[in-house]
Amino acid sequence: MSQLKSTMSNDNVTPTDATMSTTMHVQAQPNEQEKPPSRQPSMDNDEDDGTPDDTESLDSNSSRKDTSPRSGRNFSRGVTMNTLVQEGVLEPGPGVLSIDYLGQKYCGDLLPDGKIFWENVQFASPSSWATYIKKKINPAKKSGCGWNSVKYKGKKLDKLKLNWFRKNSGNAVPGLSPASNCDEDLVGQPTTLILDNKMVRERKSIKYSEIKLQGSLDPNTIVEFEQFDENMGKGQPFSVVISTSVLLIIDFHSHLTTSEVAGYLGGRWNPNDRCLYIMQAFPCKCKLCDQENAVIVEQEISNSLAARQLMRVGWYHSHPTSQAEPTLRDIDVQYEMQCNNIASHPTVAFINSPFDVRDSTRSESVYSAFWVAPPPDGSPEQAYGVPMRVKYTESIDHTIHQDILHELRLLVDYYKLHTDVITFTKLWRGTMTYLDKIKLSLTAKLPKDKSGAQLIQFVQEILTKACQPGSLT
């Protein structure tokens, strides 16, 4: 069984684990049945304290130098939350900032650098925080009227900002007022997330058309999927059916650590109906940079596949905090695996994203599946293949078998010994713990009867026990 090349995308928050030498990188795709959040119609009257959106002001909290009048700089576009903190107008502290929106009140922490912390996410400015909250309620919102919407200890930030202007500029700051200052902080500002006390940032995807020759880009660059098009005679070349038990193990595995994980997929290929059946997941219980143990783990998985008379039909891996789209390295690994198995059966890659920094309010993980098409005709010899999103159907398992429970316990026993294990008793966001998060995510893949509830109870018991003092011995 050929070993998987390194596919670490540096998505994990432990950089030393970013070199996987023997485990494959599988990428999964959003569930075919999973629909994007519906866009609500735009609300004409948001009741943002009576100020319409066309007069909202957006500030930027980028790391600029002192922009106070004493610095001699033109500060018409440079006053930030950090400026007001440094000037003593604002005092950092928990819950000192608030937003009142459509009858609800949201309280956030003001950090010493002027940034805002709310529900485990750090925001660069009042506008980015206000927009984030308002788009949760009304996805059609374009911006959040930050300086006018956010209050500091009950007082609007725009009023505090205006008072500071008047005090330091003799009431004569050309072209600058809380209503006209527009620094467009929402453009290019990466979202950040605190994952088990480690800060991670949003990663941007590029289009396949932007890729040049191999070696011209960082192999950890994330690439958007291309789509099959039935109307153009370029439909998906085979269908995929995956067991919900497989998705359950992938999701459980992905939630255990802040680092990327990987594993193989076992199943069968039916050439008559051109359908790939994915029936079992085989997690790789080794660090992605541990070449010596990876050889042993791969042999064990190979033996397990043979004993169950299953083919290796693919692989999976996680992107802990980034989108479920492949990196350039993932594309290379998948294409090589396809070439190795082309004579007997197709192979697919799955990606699981449990803590996507772009939507930290989401409880359920995002899956995606992909297959790599050859480079377009006329491409250079070293061109990358094209990552094609694969649609798949879930085959619902109505019972939870003992081998599933055994695999979950083995995974916990392995990861509890490592420093990058998730502490499930800690808060993920708001009052919800990481244990609550994984339970909510797994529930979507469980039978809707007593066996599903029993598995959730089993998960709670083994993860709670792993977090107790003395459990590492």
Q: Provide DSSP, 136-194.
A: HH-TT-----HHHHEEETTEEHHHHHHHHHHHHHTT--TT--TTT-B--TTSS---EEE
Contact (CB, 8 A) for 253 and 261 = yes
Q: What pairs with residue 265 in β-bridges?
A: 281, 314
Residue type, 125: S
pLDDT at 452: 86
What does each of the 473 residues of the chain score in pLDDT, given as a tens digit?
A: 444 544 544 554 433 333 333 333 333 333 444 433 333 333 333 444 433 333 233 233 333 333 333 333 333 345 688 888 988 999 999 999 999 887 788 999 999 989 999 988 888 888 888 888 887 777 665 555 678 789 999 998 888 887 776 676 543 333 333 233 333 333 334 455 566 556 667 788 999 988 865 556 788 899 999 999 887 778 999 999 999 999 999 999 999 999 999 999 999 999 999 999 999 999 999 877 677 788 899 999 999 999 999 999 999 999 999 999 999 999 999 999 999 998 899 999 999 999 988 776 788 999 999 999 998 888 887 788 999 999 999 999 888 889 999 999 999 999 998 888 999 998 888 788 999 999 999 998 887 777 888 899 999 999 998 877 655 43
With contact defined as beta carbons under 8 Å apart, do 222 and 358 qualify? no
Strands (E), 271-321: 275-283, 311-318
Whole-angstrom distance, CA of residue 101 vs CA of residue 189: 23
In the chain, what's the furthest Cα-to-Cα distance?
82
Q: What is the pLDDT of residue 18?
A: 34
Nearest to 176 by CA among 320, 269, 78: 78
Angle of the 244-255 helix axis to the 434-443 helix axis, nearest 10: 170
DSSP letter for 225, please. P
DSSP H or E segment with residue 99? strand 93-101
Provide the token pair at 224.
Answer: 């958007």
Q: What are the tokens at 176?
A: 């600058």
| pLDDT score for 272 | 96
- CA separation for the pair 139, 137 (Å, rounded): 6
Q: Tally Cβ neighbours within 10 Å of residue 153.
A: 13
Residue 245 confidence (pLDDT): 94
Alpha helices, H only, 324-401: 328-341
Contact 30, 368 (CB under 8 A): yes
Distances (CA, A) of 137 to 38, 53, 59, 120, 157: 11, 16, 22, 18, 22
Decide: helix, strand or coil at residue 393.
strand
Chain centroid to CA 462: how far?
A: 25
Name 61's Cβ contacts closer than 8 Å, sequence gap at least 6. 80, 81, 82, 113, 114, 115, 124, 125, 185
Is residue 134 within 8 Å of 187, Cβ to Cβ?
A: no
CA distance 320 to 288: 14
Q: Are 176 and 164 in contact (CB under 8 A)?
A: no
Q: Please, which contacts does 134-140 make with residues 24 or more away whose CB atoms are closer than 8 Å? A: 134/46, 134/101, 136/361, 137/101, 137/102, 138/40, 138/42, 138/43, 138/46, 139/37, 139/38, 139/39, 139/40, 140/39, 140/40, 140/41, 140/42, 140/43
Does residue 210 contact residue 369 with C-beta atoms inside 8 Å? no
Find out whether 252 and 438 touch, Cβ atoms under 8 Å. yes
- C-alpha gyration radius of the chain: 25
Rounded CA-CA distance 244/173 in Å is 62
Domains of the chain, each with CATH number or no CATH: 1-37+193-473 (3.40.140.10), 59-169 (no CATH)
Total residues found in the chain within this entry: 473
Q: What is the pLDDT of residue 165?
A: 66
Write the DSSP string, 273-284.
TTEEEEEEEEE-
pLDDT confidence of residue 14: 36
310's CB contacts (< 8 A; 6+ apart) are 266, 267, 268, 279, 280
